[in-house]
Chain A
Amino acid sequence: MSPIVLTVNGKRRSFGGPAFTRLIDFLRETLRLTGTKEGCGEGECGACTVLIDGAPVNSCLVPVCSVAGAKVETVESLGAPEKLSRLQQGFLDCAGAQCGICTPGMLMSAHAHLKAKGAKADDASVREAISGNLCRCTGYQHIVDSVLCAARKTAKRKR
């Protein structure tokens, strides 16, 4: 079988392993992009959320064969420790992370939402955007605050 080619965080990657390998395993085990976490393995918790062609999906439910040619973005694409994205900085400033297991998925769902909505993001839209991501620590309020904080900064920058 010819290798499966896809783009991960802007780099072309080719995978020659078993075609039914899950996207999350390709990311974590083959590419060593361990920012993406596996929670439930059932599509309930959203911890493994990555973007496929800009849209959030559960990477534990996607075999690599079904995303040949796609553009995948993981939490590693957002920023680096020395240069956080506005969204990551928002989570830091507003205490949006506690134990941290849901954070990469939350960030990716929120990132897709802010890219689509920009400064128009509001409390209700953020809550809907992260409704497929479960957090067992924060009670969500700080996460919503973090995303809105980043949205406001984006708005200021644009003005």
Chain B
Amino acid sequence: MRGDAKSMTVLTPATPAEAVALLSRDPGALPLAGGTDLMVGWNMGLLNGRVVLDLSRLDAWRRVKAARGGVSVGALVTHAALRRHPVVSKRFPLLSAACATVGAAQIQNRGTLGGNLANASPAADTFPALAVYEASVRLTGPSGPRELPVLELFAGVKKTRLRPGELIASVELPFPEKAPSAALFRKVGTRLAQAISKTMFAGLLWLDADGVVEEARLSFGSLAPTVRRLRAAEASLKGRRLDAAAAAAAADLLDADVSPIDDVRSTREYRLAASRNILRRFLEGAAR
């Protein structure tokens, strides 16, 4: 079975308001952003006969707006644009780094941040970075706009808490109050490009002048149905002088917050071992 273009109905809103109105009337319609995931299913013949809400005319959602308090990334901004954006790459380098590991150029040029979020893959490369930058997602829908912390957007594997008729309008990234003492994005895949992650990490760390941890924000993807912050490890580090023992203790707390599985890409055991090592080395590196 293949995709049959004749079986599809395409709705083409010209403005966000029109998109919301069309989707409210037809909540089963599939929003189409970059299409890099949706079209894979369509090519397999899984989406024939469906209604598609083509968002390609919504230029208002294709912009990155930098303001005093942070950056607002429109839902239709591509990974390629985020990777290159001067303010994003300077102030949110882990997000830029994550965008650079999504697929390869062809996917980065087409795939969007909003599409990535709506798709809610446990292995989405941008999520750990969004989690440590404490991004929130601005939604628009029939009952007006609302905002959710990024961690609360996800309800499970490929499931979001979007209500019927709601669309992702933008992602809001607040500037950190001060520059972190250490920051790292790390993805482990089978190869550098076109790999779906076995595990991936984003970490931000603030230390005081004595090397005591003021704040640690640590997040892993691909280790649970949804992206996770390591609340137990973060709490163990806070207020503690960062040394090898503190790093090892935090790494030991990893599985308090994650629950990796065996699947086609990796095993639970490998994922935990690799992730502990990434975490421990990040913390040890920051201690020096």
Task: Show the binding face of A for B, using Cβ within 8 Å.
Answer: 17-22, 25, 41-44, 46, 49, 52, 55-58, 60-63, 65-68, 109, 112, 128-129, 131-134
Contacts and interface: CB of A to CB of B under 8 A. Distances in A.
Given A17-B5, A67-B56, A132-B193, A60 B12 contact: no
A37 B162 CA distance: 37
B193 A128 contact: yes
18 contacts: A19-B8, A20-B8, A21-B5, A22-B3, A22-B39, A41-B40, A41-B43, A43-B103, A46-B106, A52-B109, A55-B105, A57-B109, A58-B36, A58-B107, A60-B39, A66-B32, A66-B54, A131-B194
Interface string B19-30: 000000000000
Contacts of B3: 20, 22
Contacts of A58: 36, 106-107, 110
A71 to B, nearest CB: 14
A20 B56 contact: no
B43 A60 contact: yes
Contacts, number: 101
B202 to A, nearest CB: 21
Interface of B: 3, 5-6, 8, 10, 12, 32, 35-36, 39-40, 42-44, 52, 54, 56-57, 80, 103-107, 109-110, 192-194
B106 A132 contact: yes
Contacts of B43: 22, 41-42, 60-61
B5 A20 contact: yes
Contacts of B42: 20
Interchain residue pairs A-B with the least CB separation, the first 10: A132-B104, A131-B193, A20-B8, A18-B5, A61-B39, A66-B56, A55-B109, A19-B10, A21-B5, A20-B5
A18 B8 contact: yes
A129 B5 CA distance: 31
